[in-house]
Amino acid sequence: MKKILKKLFYVKHSGHHTIVRILGIRIKYKTKQSHYVDTMPFLQEIHDYLSQNTNGFFLLNRGLQLDDNKRQLRDQVNNKMASNEYKTVPNKCLCGADNDEIIAVRDRYGIKINTVICKNCGLVRTSPYYDEESLGKFYNIEYRSLYTLCNNDFDLFFSNQCSIGEKIINNLKKCTKFSPKNKNVYEIGTGMGGILMPFMNLGAKIKGVDLGQEYINIGKTKGLDLEVGSLEVLKQYPKADLLILNHILEHIVDPITFLTQCRDILDDEGLVYIGVPTLEMIGPIYENNIFAYLQNAHVYDFSTGTICYVLECAGWSPLHVISDQGVVIAKKTNKFRKRTDIDAGHYEYALNYLKQVDKLFFNGVIKHD
């Protein structure tokens, strides 16, 4: 039996590479991609993959390399899900269809959760997803430490936010005539408010809201006008000329309702700036690695097509789309697209794109004997 297993599964370290053989497939990793390879998780991945449909993707050690602390957090989340401390509930597609296909059973950290694609409209999402109580616990206990790339370096985090703010200003200059001076610029999910700093420096009247008290307190020490809260807080202030929603829409269970409510805080001629991770970013940003992209905290994995669909259903008209950055700049309109008004063929587009990047990822990595 051992001889058979050794023939089917083995690991060999050779120079700057690690070579893994799984069921006759020879996989060659650069050392920087895989410092340690354990074949046992592969067996579980193969079992899960084969038990799902033929369009599924599986890890094959393609997730992020985690330090000991993040591995502990990952295991903690999985254990809580297994014990039902973290409960999940069905997350029906926004188009109303109930015709899903599972494409992954783990995220980039190895957290066991399903990513599905709707065969009606092509929207990729997490389902089932955490219920409200479980989600609140996850964000309070594990989320920041598991997901932050700054390892709680607050100065670095704030500096990165400022850089994003400068990039947003540059995108607005290229695509619109928007000038920050004397404009009301608001942000929901502001964190420490670093994105708003370049706007304030250019004369904008800024206001940022976030649910995280610690980050809000840090931002206030830097002279930023921030409050704990969300959309409701901003309704008491003058209408915004620009609303920034940077990497929060993918975390919201009902983004159409949320975006519809956002109309109330924006001036009639105002703009909304949306930044989300999109499927089209898997190639240029995540080097074709689906499992460097998928995250359990994301309810949705939009494409540029589905994010525009969501905006139009909420009464927004996309003006400019920057696909490789996951950016959409939109304005209010009186037209509301019906949720059932889907883009024909988008399911095939989204699935074929995922297959394409998956193939590109393995080109040069896998060699068949």
- 3-state DSSP helix/strand/coil % of the chain, to nearest 5: 40, 25, 40
Confidence check: pLDDT of 53 > 70 = no
**What number is the average pLDDT over the span 77-86?**
96
Q: Do 204 and 180 form a contact (C-beta atoms < 8 A)? A: yes
In this structure, the chain runs to a length of 369
CA distance 105 to 115: 6
Which of 12-16, 85-89, 195-199 has the weakest average pLDDT? 12-16
Identify the pLDDT of residue 338: 97
Tokens standing for residue 173: 């200059």
Nearest CA to 321 out of 300, 304, 343, 301 is that of 304
Identify the pLDDT of residue 52: 54
CA distance 363 to 220: 48
The share of the chain scoring above pLDDT 70, in percent, equals: 81
Peptide bond into 128 cis (omega under 30): yes
Tokens standing for residue 105: 């059973």
Predicted TM-score (pTM) of this structure? 0.82
Mean pLDDT, the chain, rounded, equals: 86
Residue 67, SS3 per DSSP:
coil
CA distance 281 to 293: 9
Identify the pLDDT of residue 187: 98
Which of 75-84, 135-144, 227-236, 340-349 has the weakest average pLDDT? 135-144
Is CATH 3.40.50.150 the classification given to domain 154-339+346-357?
yes
pLDDT digits (tens, 9 = 90+) for 149-189: 556 678 888 999 999 999 999 999 999 989 999 999 999 99
Peptide bond into 238 cis (omega under 30): no
Confidence check: pLDDT of 23 > 60 = no
**Reported confidence tier of residue 238, pLDDT bands at 50, 70, 90:** very high
Return the number of other C-beta atoms located less than 10 Å from residue 116's C-beta.
20
Q: Any idea where the domains of the chain sit in the sequence? A: 1-37, 154-339+346-357
Amino acid at 229: G
- Orientation angle between helical segments 304-313 and 255-262, nearest 10 degrees: 60
Residue 308, SS3 per DSSP:
helix
pLDDT digits (tens, 9 = 90+) for 272-303: 999 999 999 999 899 889 999 999 999 999 99
Return the number of other C-beta atoms located less than 10 Å from residue 139's C-beta.
16
